[in-house]
């Protein structure tokens, strides 16, 4: 266990960051799931920019890798474009 003041502070900060990253990651996964479930192209196109923005924020914060973010964005965009 941490004994120094600075180490205790670092543990607190790491815990806070971990909670925040888990929250944003789960929120983004739910948004991706929801947009995949949409069958109406107009509604999907309306929601797509917001979801892509969430994915970009995760990549910027190093919650997910930048290549994974690019793959997710590509697959989502392709799916929305193929809707009738």
Rounded mean pLDDT of the chain? 94
**CA atoms of 54 and 63, how far apart (whole Å):** 11
Q: In the chain, where are the structural domains located?
A: 5-82
pTM comes to 0.84
CA angle 28, 22, 32 (to 5 degrees): 15
- Residues 24-43 as b/e (b if ≥16 CB within 10 A, e otherwise) read beeebeebbeebeebeeeee
Length of the chain measured in residues? 84
Note the pLDDT tens digit of each residue in 39-49: 999 999 999 99
CATH number for 5-82: choose from 1.20.58.110, 3.40.50.300, 3.90.850.10, 2.40.50.140.
1.20.58.110
């Amino acid at each position: 266990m941490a004994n120094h003041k600075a180490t205790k502070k670092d543990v607190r900060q790491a815990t806070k960051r971990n909670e925040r990253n888990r929250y944003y990651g789960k929120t983004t996964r739910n948004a991706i799931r929801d947009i995949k479930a949409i069958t109406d192209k107009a509604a999907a196109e309306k929601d797509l920019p917001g979801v892509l923005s969430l994915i970009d924020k995760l990549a910027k914060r190093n919650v997910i890798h930048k290549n994974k973010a690019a793959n997710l964005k590509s697959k989502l965009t392709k799916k929305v474009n193929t809707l009738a």
